[in-house]
Structure 1
Amino acid sequence: MAAPDLLWECVKNSSSFIRKNKNVPTMTAEPGNLTSLNSFKYSGLAGKQVLGLDSKKVGKKESIVLTTRSKRKGRQQRPGTVLVTTGIKKGAKKGPAQLKKIIAETYNRPELLEMALAKYAKIKRSFKKKVALQSVRSKK
């Protein structure tokens, strides 16, 4: 595997995931990027320790998925299998506990735990649906 610094120099300005807009920092849509900022610290393409938290929707079912880099040597050489996704529970106590356990046991960047918990809360809040006013009015 190439050095992370070299990979970052290759992809920082020419990645297909980059999203540029005026008056906004350069963002990225790459898998494994926790904050969606185009920086080496959070990069899912160039970093050795990858941590991403996203929502996934299949049909009507919505779930929260944690993305990390595989520790197995054989997967490191294959781009299609280097990233591993893990489902995170949506319970109020079980979800954050599972996230803390995974980051503490398998991930050696604990400073990202608070960001991951904040993003988990935002994703979970986004799953809540607003009650339609028509159904409230029709009951009257």
Structure 2
Amino acid sequence: MSADLTWLLIKNNNSFLVKRSGVQFSSEAGNLLNKNSFKYSGIANKKTVDISAAASGRGVVVATPKTKVTLTKGIRKSARSVAGLTRAGYRADLRKAALARVAAVLASQKPVKAAPKKAGKGIRATKA
């Protein structure tokens, strides 16, 4: 079945569709921006790039229909790998969305630093 026909069948009714406040989102795998549109659809398109957090809690999993790779070397090397994958003729139109998704997933895995405590106001002794 062609991608256009698949999109016409699933665009208004599918199990991944989330409708809120007049806006439609999609929670399907392979949809980088979670928008309900043909360009980002992981169901209608044959070539998809799915980026998700690794099960171990460290790194990202980059999956295409043929391969699945876990990247754990850090944000720069992971971004370079994903950019290379998308530039090499495999959905170059999704490069910015894929890089944004990698950055967001890796940023969410960083430990939260505690804010430094402020010095409390002491009691001043006054002369009587």
Report the structure number with the largest CA radius of gyration: 2
Match of 1:120 among 102, 105, 108: 102
Give the whole-Å Cα distance in 2 for the aligned partners of 1:33 and 1:10: 17
Give the whole-Å Cα distance in 1 for the aligned partners of 2:75 and 2:54: 18
Larger proportion of helix: 1
Match of 1:86 among 69, 72, 84: 69
Give the whole-Å Cα distance in 2 for the aligned partners of 1:62 and 1:30: 22
1:129 aligns with 111
Which runs of 5 or more residues in structure 1 are unaligned?
71-83
Give the whole-Å Cα distance in 2 for the aligned partners of 1:15 and 1:94: 36
Which runs of 5 or more residues in structure 2 are unaligned?
118-128
Q: Structure 1 runs of 4+ off > 6 angstroms?
A: none
Q: Does 1:20 align with 2:2?
A: no
Identity %: 31
When normalised by structure 1's length, the TM-score is 0.72
Distance verdict in 2 for CA 1:52–1:10, change over 3 Å: same
When normalised by structure 2's length, the TM-score is 0.77
How many pairs are equivalent? 117
Give the whole-Å Cα distance in 1 for the aligned partners of 2:95 and 2:7: 23
Give the whole-Å Cα distance in 2 for the aligned partners of 1:41 and 1:95: 23
